[in-house]
Amino acid sequence: AQTVTQSQPEMSVQEAETVTLSCTYDTSESNYYLFWYKQPPSRQMILVIRQEAYKQQNATENRFSVNFQKAAKSFSLKISDSQLGDTAMYFCAFMKQALSGTYKYIFGTGTRLKVLA
Amino acid sequence: NAGVTQTPKFQVLKTGQSMTLQCAQDMNHNSMYWYRQDPGMGLRLIYYSASEGTTDKGEVPNGYNVSRLNKREFSLRLESAAPSQTSVYFCASSEWGSGAKNIQYFGAGTRLSVL
């Protein structure tokens, strides 16, 4: 069974500094997608970044980038120049194909990030 | 852009009461999902629907039923609510298939308390 592990329940970072959130996953599939979602206090789930497993190049979105290590099954999120608005719960998610042909997400338990002024 | 709309936002039930959580999306997505979020456990899939007319069980389906009313709407029903169903519930939708980005879009959530 696929699992997603986020080993850091809580982290903090000073404003303008860089922080890395860890995520590991377990799968026997070769083609899949990985995601990071952000959940601020408003509860809304917001997509941060997406990575396709068949792509070697790490995805980047402005201040957010990933370090995707397929062989090690690791998918960490780096936030550069941290801002107060980055304070949120961050979830790593693995997407697998379901029997019905659609796709299902498996989520990690989340990392609560606090950016300090 | 409404995206995924869930109602209600908050609900308090007594044990044994029933209720239906409503979800609608206006993005013409094929697939829709219901999750529950509990502290320290991330989001867990309750039920999903690959397309109109089909539904499948997820990781934690016991105590719930769903209906894919049409392509836009996917409802979650609690027939006899229990305190263990106190949680935050999220509906999501996505497009899948060749060329799709397979991104799930989420509603704002429903906070449910069962006393």
Of A44, A100, A109, the CB nearest to B54: A100
Token representation of residue A75: 């998918």
Amino acid residing at B64: Y
The fraction of chain A above a pLDDT of 70, given in percent, is 96
A-interface mutation test, from B106, B110, B111, B112, most A Cβ less than 10 A away: B106
Task: Tell me, yes or no, if A43 comes closer than 8 A to chain B by beta carbon.
Answer: yes
**Per-residue pLDDT tens for A12-69?**
999 999 999 999 999 888 888 999 999 999 999 999 999 998 888 999 999 999 999 9
Task: Give yes or no for residue A2 having a pLDDT over 90.
Answer: no
**Tens-place pLDDT, residues B30-53:** 999 999 999 888 899 999 998 888
Region of A60 (left: φ > 0; alpha: ψ -120 to 50; beta: rest) is beta
What pLDDT is stored for residue B99 in this prediction?
Answer: 65
What is the pLDDT averaged over residues B8-26?
96
Residues B67-91: tens digit of each pLDDT: 998 999 999 999 999 999 999 999 9
pLDDT at B2 over 80: no
Per-residue pLDDT band for A1 (boundaries 50, 70, 90) equals low
Interval A98-105 mean pLDDT: 75
| pLDDT tens-digit series, residues B88-105 | 999 999 987 666 777 899
pLDDT for res B102:
79
Contact B27/A at CB under 8 A? no
- Alpha-carbon distances of A18 from A7, A50, A80, A116, B44, rounded to whole Å: 18, 20, 4, 12, 30
**Interatomic CA distance for residues A94 and A86, integer angstroms:** 22
Residue B1 — pLDDT band, cuts 50, 70, 90? low
